[in-house]
Amino acid sequence: MNSFEMLNGPQQEAVMQTEGPVLILAGAGSGKTRVLTHRAAYLIEEKGVNPYRIMAITFTNKAAGEMRERINGMVGFGAESIWVATFHATCVRILRRFIDRIGFETNFTIYDADDQKALMKDICKSMEIDTKLYKEKMFLSVISSAKDELIDPAEFARQAGEDFEKIRQAQVYQAYQDALKRNNALDFDDLICYTVKLFQKEEQVLLHYQERFRYIMVDEYQDTNTAQFQLIRLLADKYRNLCVVGDDDQSIYKFRGANIYNILNFETYFPEAAVIKLEQNYRSTQNILDAANHVIANNHGRKSKKLWTANGRGDRLAFCQFGNGYEEAEFAAKDITEKVFRDGYRYKDCAVLYRTNAQSRLFEEKFIVSNIPYRIIGGVNFYARKEIKDLLSYLKTIDNASDDLAVRRIINIPKRGIGATTIGRVQAYAASHEMSFYDALKAAEEIPSIGKAAAKIRPFVLLIQSLRSKLGMISLTDLFDEILEDTGYVKELEAEGTEEAKARIENIDELISKIADYEQGESEPTLSGFLEEVALVADIDTLEEDSNYVVLMTLHSAKGLEFPNVYLAGMEDGLFPSYLSIVSETAAEDIEEERRLAYVGITRAKEHLAVTCARERMVRGNLQFNKVSRFVEEIPKELFGKSEKPAPPKPEERHHRPSYGKGREAFRAKPMAAASTYNPPKNFGNAPKEALPYRVGDRVSHVKFGEGTVTLIVEGGRDYEVTVDFDRAGVKKMFAAFAKLKKI
């Protein structure tokens, strides 16, 4: 039996439908990667297509690597010629070759998020923008959203009309792009935008790639934005052999610019498209899939499909409603411990998924107490750490001295006694002479205003020039060793002798390993290539599958992963779906996206799924009383096993904080946020009925939330639960003894 015969019917159809546009609607766990790899093999082995003519685009390096490995395993000679890469890596390769056609040099730098923030900070300062009123992040978000829609600064300014805020944003956008151009740098959004611009402007370049990529496959198509869609449309426009694979029910990245209508309206753009549904799930039990099917069926903006499996019904889902978040975390810790020591699971088989990062703290506290090793995915990226950023800036400066941000970051690392005043004067000289900051440093003796400081600048310039002269002459590992030796970076850390300094040295050692791995894995390793690889690393790529720890992550980070045991935490209206989505102007659309997120969470589970929530939860120092999430209510009761609904806790136990035993150092864990202290008022739970000075309908004021109207008063045991619709803060529930509301 050949490998194609092992595919199910719809999978075989998807593999063999090679000509013309194809939309493969691949439900969660339906084997879409298998289909894509078999399709590539089928094109080569059965259709006789030259591997050089095949392109496969993914969203993460991990997915690209997995696809490349599988294709290599199926196809012998020539498989390495298939273009398998992420969107951004694809565009980098194209721009490295042709970006000079649109005014950049081919050794451009790629700016990451920290570089962008630093550049935007400079722009706001030069434009005298009050960053207390107008945050740098706000401008960057607006610019990114514009680029997702292929809106350049000129078009943005036209659309601004007479709106003062948008006019200011347009001015900042233009200044930001001008600064990038001066630095010969591109941000991540630019990689896509400039490739589209290149194709639109240079017909011969587009024709070259259309001829090369006669068969194009795109993974996770539901996550594409408008710019990515235009890129794919242009590439596929000549031969139209475009196969896109995705699941509209897993479109959860609207906040990143993903446009779900790219997949929903695929047949509008390609009327001749064949549509194939993959509905057999190979991951989960039928009970888990039934829960997911019932939840997602409530969405209107979707293409109909229903997941099924041959895995059997499996265990019913667990639903647990607790008194508070501490009890919820305690349950997860206890259940994981039992599964490990009683049922034979490993810690790595368990994952706690939640809507917001802030929810991790309670689980961290409980896991520390219970000696459960864990790791938070999506935290501080390795490449965002100070010592790594410093040393990468040296490499960036050696590779592209036009990168002002990189040069300015390291001008005083290690300290060279070059003050802010001197740096400012060099920057002013560079601006007035329309040259890079580094070129101005080389001409320091000609800047009359800096005087003796020129002597301090000269050794830095000589160091960089010396290192640049060795590019291509020595290995990247040796080059990096010379940077460490010449700067004394590690020696300074060794002199500190602190635990923090030791940890930083370990990180630098890891960077050395990364450089060595890159050199060993490339036939022609280059400094530019290494910096590209570093810049294109995605957060999810940091998940080490061999490590044995419980994973804590947001639902957005969990997409594409699977675990035998999943704990879906915080399933409460107001938390998930979020309060903002419930009350937004586009609530119907936003709640549908939240429901897709719930669907993603449910379908991460292979064998066991526990859905948990709390009656009350401390959020930003305030108690919130939330009802069970509407998404839980959408799951038929017969799919749940015995629900755990403990009696309401006594007031004195309600906010019990865990104490910490020994064993904190038994494993490495992300430092947790300090637990906020909480002291109930002495009269908690004893407010007599007649003591309330207000009734339903009365206007009241709160020290934090301002004025509002009392909409409900419920006698909750020893105290009153008061619901107030505040004018600015919205609806809040609170105990009367805590709220201290004053009647207006």
pLDDT mean over 189-196: 96
Decide if pLDDT at 177 tops 90. Answer: yes
In the 8-state DSSP scheme, what is residue 673?
Answer: P
- For the beta carbon of residue 469, count every other beta carbon within 10 angstroms: 10
What are the tens digits of pLDDT across the range 609-623? 999 999 988 664 456
pLDDT mean over 269-274: 93
- The active-site residue out of 33, 131, 427, 709 is 33
Angle between helices 113-126 and 136-148 (to 10 degrees): 120
Q: Where does residue 624 fall: left (phi above 0), alpha (psi -120 to 50 degrees), or beta otherwise?
A: beta
Instruction: Give me the pLDDT at residue 416, please.
Output: 86
Instruction: Give me the pLDDT at residue 688, please.
Output: 40
Instruction: Give me the pLDDT at residue 643, please.
Output: 58
Strands 699-702 and 706-716: antiparallel
Active site residue 32: yes
Tokens for 585? 């102007």
- For the beta carbon of residue 5, count every other beta carbon within 10 angstroms: 7
- The active-site residue out of 109, 171, 250, 422 is 250
- What percentage of the chain reaches a pLDDT higher than 70? 88
Could you tell me if 162 and 63 are in contact, meaning their C-beta atoms sit under 8 angstroms apart? Answer: no
Decide if pLDDT at 317 tops 80. Answer: yes
Tokens for 726? 């505040």
- The active-site residue out of 147, 348, 504, 604 is 604
Which strand ranges, in their side-by-side order, compose the sheet holding 699-702? 730-735, 719-726, 706-716, 699-702, 742-743
Q: Where are the beta strands (DSSP E) in 90-235?
A: 109-111, 185-187, 215-218
DSSP string across 521-534: H-SS--HHHHHHHH
- The active-site residue out of 112, 187, 190, 219 is 219
pLDDT mean over 326-352: 94
Active site residue 220: yes
Active site residue 250: yes
- The active-site residue out of 32, 62, 214, 596 is 32
Strands 563-568 and 350-354: parallel
- The active-site residue out of 122, 187, 220, 328 is 220
Closest CA to 649 of 322, 428, 239, 207: 322
pTM for the whole structure? 0.71
Lowest-confidence segment of 185-199, 410-424, 426-440, 542-556 by average pLDDT: 542-556
Determine the number of helices (DSSP H) and then strands (DSSP E) in the chain.
Answer: 30, 23
